Amino acid sequence: MARIDHLVWAAPDLDRAIDELAARTGRRPRTGGAHPGNGTRNAILGLGGRSYLEVLAPDPAQATTATASASLAKLPGPVLHTFAVATDRLDRVAVKLEQAGLPHAGVIPMSRRLPSGQLVRWRLLIPTGHAYGPLAPFFIDWGDSPHPADGADDDCRLSRLTLTHPEAWSLRPLLEKLDVEVETEAGEAAITAELETPNGVVRLSSLDRVAG
C-alpha cells in the first residue's frame, strides 16, 4: 500500500498556527520555508519516519495574487485540509488515474529554499474531475531531495486518518485502485486525523472551525 507522506493543516497565519499546534501537541513545528510564486510558506511537525504534518499559510513577504494564498487568508483558523501520498513512480499513478477516469494536469515541478539556503525540489500529481474535493489525495515524489521530515522531532505519530463523504461507496474503491489505504465512512464530507503526542491524543479535522 502507498505511504502517507504528509497531512496539510491550512491556516490564515503561520505564527499563530505554530503556537496553537505547539500548545496542543507539546511539540513546536520547525520553520520550513516559502513557496515562491504561490504566496505561501510552511512549518513542519514530524510524525515519525518519512511522514509529517505541514502547516501551510500565506507568506506576507510575497506580493502575489495566487489563489492558494488568498484562500488560506480567508480561513477563520487552522483546519485539516488534505493529504499527500508518497511515490517514486508518478507515471504509474498517472496511468491508474486515467484508468479510473480521473483527469490530471500532468506532473507539476515545484521547489523551495530551506532556511539553510539549500534548495529542495519535488514533483506533484493532482487528480481532478471528481466530486471528493480535498478528500482525494495528491501524489508527491521528492526524488533525490532531502525529505522535510528528515531530522524533525519524531515524538508525534499519526495513529488514524479517516475520510467521511456522502459518496463513500464510490470514494472507497477509488482509493483502493490507487493503493491508498485510509478509513472511509459515509457522512458529512470531512478529513480527520488523530495524532499521538506528548500531550496525549490530538484530533485535527476539516470541520474544526465549522463546528467550533
- Please give the span between the terminal C-alpha atoms of the chain, in angstroms, as a whole number: 35
Q: What is the pLDDT of residue 1?
A: 59
Q: Which helix (H) or strand (E) holds 20?
A: helix 14-25
Q: Which are the contacts of 75, defined by CB distance < 8 A and separation ≥ 6? A: 10, 11, 12, 209
Q: Are 180 and 1 in contact (CB under 8 A)?
A: yes
Per-residue pLDDT of 67-88, as tens digits, reads 778 899 999 999 999 999 999 9
- Cα–Cα distance measured from residue 153 to residue 192, given in angstroms and rounded to the nearest whole number: 22
Bridge pairing between strands 79-86 and 138-141: parallel
Q: Where on the phi/psi map is residue 69: left (φ > 0), alpha (ψ -120 to 50), or beta?
A: alpha
Q: What is the pLDDT of residue 37?
A: 83
Q: What is the pTM of this model?
A: 0.93
- Cα–Cα distance measured from residue 133 to residue 127, given in angstroms and rounded to the nearest whole number: 10
Q: What is the pLDDT of residue 209?
A: 67
> pLDDT truncated to tens, each residue of the chain (212 aa)?
579 999 999 999 999 999 999 999 999 999 888 888 889 999 999 998 899 999 999 999 887 666 778 899 999 999 999 999 999 999 999 998 888 888 888 899 988 777 777 888 999 999 888 889 899 999 999 999 989 988 777 799 999 999 999 999 999 998 998 899 999 999 999 999 999 999 999 999 999 865 44
Q: What is the pLDDT of residue 210?
A: 55
Q: Which domains does the chain have, with CATH numbers?
A: 3-153 (3.10.180.10)
